Amino acid sequence: MSHLVKDFRAALYSLSKRPGFVAVVILTLSLTLGAFITMSALNYTLLLKPLPYPEQEKLFIAQGERFYEGKQLASGIHSYAGTVELYKKNQVFSETAMLHYEEQLISNLPGQPKLYTTFTTPEIFSLSGAKMAQGRYFDSTEGLDTYKPVAVITYDIWQQKYAGAADILDKKVQISKVSYTIVGVLAENFIEPLLFMPGRETQIWLPFDYNYVDEEGRENGTNGSSNLKLAGKLKVGMRENEANQYLTNPMNDRFVEAARAFPGGKGVTVAITLRTFEDIIIGDSPTTSLMLFGGVFALLLIACANISNLFLSRAAEKQRQYAIQATLGAQKFHIFRSIFIELFILIFVSSVLALVFAHLSFALLQQYAEGHLARLNELSLNAPILFFTALVSLLLTSVFAAIISHLIDYKSLISILRSSGKGSGLQISRSTRQILIISQVALAGILLSVNFTLLKGSMEVINHPAGFNTENIIRIGLDASGQNFNREERIAYIETIKDKLLQMPEVNMVSNTIYPPLVVNSWTSSLAEDLSASGKQVLPNVNLVDEHYLTLFDIPLIAGRNFKPEEIRDSQKVIIINETVAKQFATSGGILGRNLYWEGGEDPYKVIGIIKDVNIPRVDMVPQMLAGRTTGFNFMIGLNDNHNVSKIQLNSIFRQINRNLRVSIYATVDESYKKLLLRDISIAVITIALSLLTLLLAGLGIYGVLSYSINLRTYELGVRMALGGSPNLISKLVLTDSAKPVAYGWAISIMILIALYMYLTQKMNYDISIEVSALVVTFILISLTSFIACFIPLRKIVRLQPINALK
Amino acid sequence: MNNIKIKMKNITKVFEIDNMETHALRGLDLTIYDGDYISISGPSGCGKSTLLSILGLLDMPSSGTYHIEGDDVSQLSLAQSARIRANKIGFIFQQFNLIDELTVFENIALPLRYSEKQYSESEIKQKVKKCLDSVEMSHRTNHYPHLLSGGQQQRIAIARSLVADPAILLVDEPTGNLDSKNGDAIMDMLENLNNQGTTICLVTHDPRYADRAKSQYHLLDGRIEMVKSMLEAV
């Protein structure tokens, strides 16, 4: 034991004499290992770890799909009445729950915040194995059609909005006119199954009865909503196919019957498909997470190649000390113990730092990647991760120890002193050096090519012009706190609001419009050439706008004209379509001035204008139609340059008009547009950071090996110079020699990239392309890095008088 | 009067180490004629190696003038001195200095490949063969140096020094790493070369071998003096 302590101290002392070496090893290893641990934890959670719900493999969502003549029209939507019927007459689930996802203003909390509310039947809590921090969750007496106003809040809301109040179970949640009694607080570690969309976590749970679908919507058998979900645990013995049949048949019968009532419903059928919770929650996250894992794994390998070289150089440097130890009686075991202890210290410190780094990365991911990657809230430094880190560290220590022991041969150690320094001594062999360079170049080549391909795609999205003005426009939506207005009242209020807004010195234009151009797929409808079942039909996004919409957003008309004020006022049957719709109706005479039938209605709508398509990041060209009419309390406010209006300012104006009016949506169009670019901006930032790190690590690694190799050749180069080799010729020789392993590495990376490309496109059916420009940039960068790594040590030698190189 | 191959006048070499000046050569004059065979000897640290480095343009003098075949080579750039080494100087080192990764043929061909004259492959082949024949090593053309004995390696080094028809052969302790039998054979070979017209400058501390040169110089404290000249004796 005391020997071990002594060796430990000796190793610490020896390392303290080489702070540069220690710093480079620890920094390189802790950063790359930290990233590797982070990505391993993420992929483990996404791909291997079961969801944290009892019998999670039996949990399913019944997903509604709509088909028109066999072609899928929409997925994930349900009709309200049909879903309630399935819930009531459930045959396939042992337990089933209905959920309706909404956002509501909580009027009895300070600032009247808008929170994520989910209206649910009680079963969701037992399905997700919920534990409570306070009180209870909904019981069977609070199920469908019982109308008991109770609420369950999350632990975070309890802490943040109620300051962790001890008497939380006496408090109420007020939403418009209903006051809900809080009956429970979910446990801090409760993880909600995110069935609606990634990153959307419920803050307040309310009984399903109180959802905000109105009477008409509840009875309508054809309307569909993606906010409504039916979840359940499959009965024992029930097969998925069988369940799909049980669910689809009544739903489709009901739909087809209801659809007979209007012409647009002809030929449309619905089906229900079960999808596992896992499938819904994880979505396409593994594509991103596996790619990131591949990236950091390659980075770790580059770092390992670097560190191997550093350790080998250090072993070569310490050979004399080992030789003296061996001559004085140290056995093989003693020497390897001292090497192993030194390695262990370095890797242990790096691993601890790597864990700190991973912990920080988890927080960063949870903050910035929420919504893009699933199950991020389950990431933490837990026992499996600590065990995994220990395992990786042990593996790395063993691998490095094996590499070093391969270099140091105990028998030859003793002969080093006996031959009193003659002979070449301990050297990293030429083949080892070549392998180190080849592997680094190959890995860096793959990593950089993939990075640059991704970066190019993202930069194209980021730099692509939107095709509409996004600056100085605010989008607002107003909530009337449950007060209902008839059409005349609503129009009168809209006019007053517009007038009041225009009186503000900051405002130069107001448009009564539901959505800004960047919102897609919120309202999809149908446009038909004629009313026959065989007529051409297009499914465009709908937006209701006024005559200011096109001017405010600066969207050019390519044919026809804008709406006139009287067309808006009287809701005349005129529409404007975009180029994509126009192309789909491509008829010989053009579509302008022709009539189209909107959602199966019998009155024709005349096309008065065609506008240019706008570009929504990562969305293919969307068919769009604009109908000119006064809508609800949704406005786009155009501001003068360098001016802004706050939500508080707006609220004070609206309160003067009607004390129930409050701003419920407030967003600048520019920021909303940038949010759509967030994914690509993140990709760009990650790929640039990863590329720089790759270049730095590979550059340092290649420099380390090349400068070692070139320094070993100093004498030989001196001989060549003595024989008349000029600096240029010597440089050319060394550069050519060094270029060989770089070229091999590059060739290997190209082969792997092609294999990867073929695998992904042919076996996995990914739609990707090899970016030649990315390969060229990578080639230039790697060549340049290698050239610099070679040139620095070479320059020292060729500037010597030959006699100094021969010393 | 024979042509002057090498003329050094008032050559000095000062090394500065840790702010201390060391005068390795102090105003040295030396003239070597075509067909000469001179030896330079002296005790350790007398400046033999420094003189040989400057003679071979492996280092530059601190002051003084140096001409090879009439060209001033006192202060040259690294590239210029390399060019002259390739064309006009043949080196034979104590450690042979063959390059391990190159075959015997390629080792010998090196000065030709470094020369500014563009030799064709057939010319190179022919010249290398001639030199190999002259040292009786033709049967080892495609061997690597580590497969040869010390004596054989030095013969290859001699062949290499001759391949570009240099103005002068600079020979540094050629027998230092050889046994006496091989050492004698190498010295015989040098003598033969001189008899055929090659100008040779030999640096050695072995008086037995120094005596075989036609002129013998002694170097002491950075200055040179002639001890004996066969030409004068004649």
Domain boundaries, chain A: 70-266, 473-675
- Average pLDDT on A532-559 reads 88
**Average of per-residue pLDDT values in chain B:** 88
Contacts of A394 (CB under 8 A, 6+ apart): none
A366-412 pLDDT per residue, tens: 888 877 888 988 898 889 999 999 999 999 998 998 888 777 777 77
Cross-strand bridge partners of residue A574: A606
Q: What is the pLDDT of residue A232?
A: 95
How many CA within 13 A on the CB side of residue A3? Answer: 6
The two structure tokens encoding residue B189? 């070979």
Question: Which residues 177-196 of B are in CB contact (within 8 Å) with A?
Answer: none
Nearest-neighbour CA in chain B from A323: distance (Å): 26
Cα atoms in the Cβ-side hemisphere of radius 13 Å centred on A410 = 10
Measured between CB atoms, does A799 come within 8 Å of chain B? yes
pLDDT mean over A495-511: 94
Q: Do A724 and B56 touch (CB under 8 A)?
A: no
The pLDDT, as a whole number, for residue B10 is 93
Q: CA torsion B177→B183→B188→B189, rounded to 10°?
A: -30
* Res. A1 pLDDT band, cuts 50 70 90: low
What band does A420 get if pLDDT is binned at 50, 70 and 90? very low
At residue A80, the pLDDT reads 86
> What amino acid occupies position A485?
F
pLDDT: which is higher, A324 or A581: A581
Q: Of A537 and A245, which is predicted with more confidence?
A: A245
**For testing the chain B interface, which of A723, A730, A732 should be mutated: the one with the most B CBs within 10 Å?**
A723
What whole-number percentage of chain A has pLDDT above 70? 95
**Res A313: pLDDT:** 82
Residue B214: strand, helix, or coil: coil
Tokens 């489709």 appear where?
A252
Contact status of B79 with chain A (Cβ, < 8 Å): yes
Residue of higher predicted confidence among A260 and A735: A735
Whether residue A123 has pLDDT greater than 80: yes
Residue A107: other Cβ atoms inside 10 A: 17
Write down the H helix ranges in B56-179.
78-88, 104-114, 121-134, 150-162
The CATH number of residue B94's host domain is 3.40.50.300
DSSP code for B146: G
Helices (H) then strands (E): counts for chain B:
8, 10
From residue A162, give the alpha-carbon distance in Å to each of A186, A397, B194.
14, 51, 107
Residues 727-766 (A) with a CB less than 8 A from some CB of B: 727-729
Phi and psi at residue A784, in whole multiples of 5°? -65, -45
The answer, for A803 touching chain B at a CB cutoff of 8 Å, is: yes
- pLDDT value of position A324: 77
pLDDT band at A422 (very low <50, low <70, confident <90, very high): very low
What is the structure's pLDDT at A425? 54
Q: What is the pLDDT at residue A129?
A: 94
Tokens representing A452? 């640059």
pLDDT (tens digit, 9 = 90+) per residue, A342-355? 999 999 999 999 99
- The pLDDT of residue B102 is 87
Q: How many domains does chain B have?
A: 1
Cα–Cα dist A684/A690, whole Å: 10
Give the minimum alpha-carbon distance from A721 to chain B in angstroms, rounded to a whole number: 7
Give mean pLDDT, residues A127-139.
95
Angle at CA of residue A261, ends A259 and A262, nearest 5°: 80
Return the residue matching tokens 């060094």: A738
pLDDT at A423 over 50: no
- Dihedral-angle region of residue A168 (phi above 0 means left; psi in -120 to 50 means alpha; beta otherwise): alpha
Nearest to A182 by CA among A145, A135, A142: A135
Given CB atoms, is B87 within the 8 Å cutoff of chain A? yes
Euclidean distance between the first and the last CA atom of chain B, given in angstroms as a whole number: 14
User: What was the pLDDT predicted at A262?
Assistant: 59
- Comparing CB atoms, the residue among B79, B87, B97 nearest residue A719 is B97
Question: pLDDT category, A421, cuts 50, 70, 90?
Answer: very low
Helix (H, G, I), strand (E, B) or coil at A212: coil
Whether the predicted pLDDT of B1 surpasses 50: no
Return all residues near A758 (Cβ < 8 A) that are at least 6 apart. Answer: none
Joined together, the tokens standing for residue A181 give 């009694």
Instruction: Report how far residue A105's alpha carbon sits from residue A598's, in angstroms, rounded to the nearest whole number.
Output: 34
Which H or E element spans position B91?
A: strand B89-92
Structural domain harbouring B194? 4-233
Interface test with B, best of A431, A726, A796 (most B CBs within 10 A): A726
Q: Across residues A523-546, what is the average pLDDT?
A: 81
Confidence of residue B234 (pLDDT cuts 50, 70, 90): very low
Secondary structure class of A176 (helix, strand, coil): coil
C-alpha to C-alpha distance for A572 and A303, rounded to whole angstroms: 68
pLDDT for position A417: 61
How many inter-chain contacts (A to B, CB under 8 Å) are there?
A: 67
pLDDT digits (tens, 9 = 90+) for A218-236: 887 666 778 899 999 999 9
Residue A424: what pLDDT?
Answer: 46
Which residues on B lie below 8 Å from A806 (Cβ)?
58
CB pair distance less than 8 Å for B82 and A725: yes
Contact A725 B164 (CB under 8 A): no
Q: Say whether residue B145 is in contact with chain A using an 8 A CB cutoff.
A: no
pLDDT at A78: 75
Beta bridge pairs of residue A93: A234
Mean pLDDT estimate for chain A:
88
CA nearest neighbour of B111 among B171, B69, B158: B158
Cα A803 to chain centroid, rounded:
61
pLDDT per residue over A649-703, tens digit each? 999 999 899 888 888 889 999 999 988 888 888 888 888 988 998 888 888 888 8
Least confident range of A53-67, A163-177, A322-336, A758-772: A322-336
Contact between A645 and A489 (Cβ < 8 Å):
no
Contact B105, B142 (CB under 8 A): yes
Gap between the Cα atoms of B106 and A104, Å rounded: 86
- Taking the CA of residue B114 and the nearest CA in chain A, the distance in Å comes to 5
Asked if A206 and A119 count as a contact pair (C-beta separation under 8 A), the reply is yes
What letter represents residue A570's amino acid? D
Residue B67 has pLDDT above 50, yes or no: yes
pLDDT number for residue B213: 92
Report the percentage of chain A scoring pLDDT > 90: 45
| Portion 16-55 of B in contact with A at CB < 8 A | 53
pLDDT at A627: 93
Rounded to whole angstroms, the Cα distance separating A433 from A701 reads 11
State the pLDDT at residue A221: 67
Q: How far is B153 from chain A (nearest CA, A)?
A: 15
Q: Which of A386-400, A420-434, A440-454, B127-141 has the lowest mean pLDDT?
A: A420-434
**Where is pLDDT greater, at B100 or A135?**
A135
Percentage of residues of chain B with pLDDT beyond 90 = 43
Contact B85 A799 (CB under 8 A): no
Q: Chain B contacts of A719, Cβ < 8 Å? A: 93, 97, 99
